Amino acid sequence: MGRFRIVRFINSGGMGEVYEAWDSELGERVALKTIRPEIASFPPVIERFKQEVRQARGVSHVNVCRVYEMFSHVQDSGDHVWFLTMELLAGRTLSEYLSQHAPMSAKQALNVIEQMVSGLAAAHEHGVVHGDFKSSNVMLVDGPAGKTRVVVTDFGLSFKGLAGRGTRSEQCKVGTPRYMAPEQLEGKEVGFAADQYALGVVICEMLTGVCPLPTGASFDRSQDLAWAHIVNARWEQVVRRCLQVRPEDRFPNIRDITSVLTRGRRRGIPWAMAAAVLSSIALFVALESGQSGEFVEAAAQLTPDTDLTSRPSLARDGRIIAYSSDRAESGNLDIWVQHLPVGTPTRLTTDPAEDVDPNIAPDGSAVVFRSERAGGGIYIIDIGGGRERLLAPDGRNPRFSPDGRSVAYWVGDNDSTIASGKVFLLSLANRVSTRLLSDFTDARYPVWSSDGSHILFSGCRALNQPLPGCSEWWVATRDGKTINDTGTLALLRKHNIQLVDLIGGWYGDKVLFSGRQQSTTSLWEVTIPLRSLRATGIPRPITSGEPRAVAPCLANSGSIAFERLTSALHVWRIEHSSDPGKALASKLTHDPTFDVSPDISSNGQWLVFARGYQGHRDLWVRNMISGKEALFYAAPGDKLSPIIDNSGTVVVLETREKEVPSLFIMVRDQFTRTLGARCSNPTGWFDETHSVFCRQGVPSVIALVNVDTAKVTTVLEKANQSLSEATWSPRSQYLLFTASPDGVSKRIFAVLFPKSERQPKGQWIPLTPKAEFNDRPRWSGDGKTVFYLSRRDGFSCVWGQHFDSQSGRAIGVPFAVMHFHDPRFSPHVVLDRAFNLSVAGDSVYLNIGEINTSVWVGRLRQPSLLSALRDFR
């Protein structure tokens, strides 16, 4: 069947058969679903399958089976075989599981129900009614660490529904009768509530092993009391409401089901935290001295794994928490607040752009946050209601002062290797922002001391020193006039601790942060006394390392909230990128560790990348013809930004010793030689493999390094502009690069750079607008198209721009190669220093992050810290 090779038969149903198949173009296994010939002869059926593809592709969610595409294949007989391809799920259906293990316990059932609700809610939020929800259309897939992923499948009977209204059609009568709602059986208007009814039937089936029977002509199943004694009153209440005959008598929203079922669980967990001294459930790591005493205890999950929830912020008394979450719309991050211990989450923002990094006012009255709408900036919204208001265009990581009257924030490039950060203090009384620390080359990530007298930040004061090697944590008085070097990062390096996130918070004499030691990422504390403002003692972990804990915040009560993160980082390829209608993405690497900084040789045969974790990565090369991967170079330390030649034997890369970059050239099985410490971030070859483009200095200029002599020559520079990302096309003889005046915007330029002259000739040609942030420009193999990463729509997506080298100008308008609007799967979640985009022919190679996050709440047992915090109430 063309590009597909059938591997095995899986199952058959009323509409057709399902097979496991090998997709030779994607290079992976897929599920292939056919339509029976006798059914496919009717055009309405084909249209129905096309509808399934369109609707299911619009629902991107971890609990919904991904549908790829629809095809037709002409057999030797001349007959058409219609089929669609979808995600291949390794597991068994819920129906198959129940046939052997029913009834399920309430605890076991709840985990499955939460995920089924999450998947159906995602479909409803895209206006899609499933129409044939049942236990055989739910897959149980084994996941990592023994967790089960629940996936809703088979949207073949789905149709569009409107909130508060239904759809009347013959299609609505099609389904599986014993799961169908009364209005669907009678051919009446059908809406989202029909799926809720079917879910109620499935819940009964899970708890009893049988479906409830309808009684009377009204199809009322809620009166079947055969199952009622098996579940408690709360479960019975939920099931009875799902099975109400009239749709309007069911829950207003399908998510209400899990809210009711978990109400008791969530009521119990926080009070267990309040009584943590008596609790036997504790999560802790012993101190390096071997003595117990300081650790997070009674840690409990506040938000479900089915949502992407991050960056918690606690009010001073610990009774209100704010966080960013996509719980209402999968992939759309908004700001939420929740009263602790048992409050219902409240959505504060609804903008389609990402709303992230909330910080709640000390009294819990308002939230400041970063939004990517309208180019990005800091907004504020009152918890009691009202609309969000812009406070600071371009601002990042806002933090309320302890008195709630000011907000500290910074602006600049998120890439910590580019000197662009500037710290500001905003007065909420007059909305005036004042820049602090103007003599710093780079300053970012400000946090307040508990009494509001000082601000801790990450900064570099030295001129012409590369970042982040010159960065350190500094403390400034509120007016910025007195500044002290804390020596914290030097202390962390001494103990082999890699900082992996922002500064968590400064509480009394303790600073909380997330750090990696060896292969474990945990929450840590380090002591910075206000009397000396110098880091002292030994940094101490306060959580264990699996899964990774980041973004800690602390309340005066001792409540601590943090984010738990699971992630993957692999190299992907987007083929046919010059034609957006044909662009196709496929995963190339599958290692459980992180694959970063991919670069493809210009002939497309060799892919080089670094594999491992921050602080220790090895260099690997993949032969794109055979698909085999081989270790190229292994040694302690970071290895970033490798570029590889067409023979697959020569690599130039950046290494870092104490965060100071150096360039090296490596020839397989022959030698490794330094090219000096004056350059960083090698981005491309020039004159075959005789020279390499890199960046140098602060603000950065573009330099050319001769790989034989290590001579460095500046080829492009401009006052008060950071230049970077130079790549040259031997076909067009044009050089691409980026220029940023402030770290807020980044513009792509092209300039003629003849090989014979080894220097730019003529004017810089702008290829992107002045106010946008665009990065990693790369030439297509024929020099006629520029591919790059852009945030023009508020997300990190791959775009293209056609270019005419004869006239030296862009042709037409930019076009989207591939969008990445789901924060679970995006280049945006990759650290800038670990990300790269590379091109061979018209195929784009890049590394994409896949993440899942949840918020946890616990209690920090640390009497000295808590007593210090109470002094600042």
Contact 599, 836 (CB under 8 A): yes
Neighbours of 628 (CB within 10 A): 9
Q: Is 270 exposed, middle or buried (0-12, 13-18, 19+ CB in 10 A)?
A: middle
* 552 alpha carbon, distance to own chain's centre: 18
Integer Cα distance of 120 and 158 in angstroms: 11
Query: ∠ CA 416-420-423 to the nearest 5 degrees?
Result: 100
Integer Cα distance of 548 and 402 in angstroms: 28
Distances in whole angstroms, Cα of residue 832 to Cα of each of 398, 778, 802: 20, 16, 26
Q: H or E stretch including 451?
A: none
Q: Which long-range contacts (CB under 8 A, 24 or more apart) does 554-557 make?
A: 554/314, 554/505, 554/507, 554/512, 554/860, 554/865, 554/869, 555/314, 555/315, 555/316, 555/317, 555/318, 556/316, 556/317, 556/318, 556/866, 556/869, 556/870, 556/872, 556/873, 557/317, 557/318
Integer Cα distance of 289 and 618 in angstroms: 33
Q: Which long-range contacts (CB under 8 A, 24 or more apart) does 751-758 make?
A: 751/716, 752/808, 753/715, 753/728, 755/686, 755/687, 755/730, 758/686, 758/687, 758/704, 758/713, 758/715
Which residues lie below 8 Å from residue 30, measured CB to CB, with a gap of 6+? 4, 20, 21, 22, 23, 68, 85, 86, 87, 88
Q: Are strands 701-706 and 691-696 parallel, antiparallel or unpaired?
A: antiparallel
From 23, 76, 79, 132, the catalytic residue: 132
Residue identified by tokens 């699971």 is: 566
Which residues lie below 8 Å from residue 653, measured CB to CB, with a gap of 6+? 610, 619, 639, 640, 641, 642, 643, 663, 664, 666, 682
Integer Cα distance of 640 and 637 in angstroms: 10
Contact 801, 786 (CB under 8 A): yes
832 is catalytic: no
Contact 190, 131 (CB under 8 A): yes
Which residues lie below 8 Å from residue 38, measured CB to CB, with a gap of 6+? none
Contact 691, 676 (CB under 8 A): no
Distances in whole angstroms, Cα of residue 478 to Cα of each of 457, 502, 773: 12, 20, 31
Contact 298, 316 (CB under 8 A): no
Q: Is 464 exposed, middle or buried (0-12, 13-18, 19+ CB in 10 A)?
A: exposed
Q: Where are the alpha helices (DSSP H) in 177-255?
A: 182-185, 193-208, 233-242
Task: Give the helix, strand, coil percentages of the chain, each rounded to 5.
Answer: 15, 45, 40
Rounded to 5 degrees, what are φ and ψ at 844? -100, 130
Rounded to 5 degrees, what are φ and ψ at 275? -105, 40
Peptide bond into 760 cis (omega under 30): no
Peptide bond into 699 cis (omega under 30): yes
Question: Length of the chain, please?
Answer: 873
Which residues lie below 8 Å from residue 660, measured CB to CB, with a gap of 6+? 466, 469, 677
The residues assigned a catalytic role are: 132
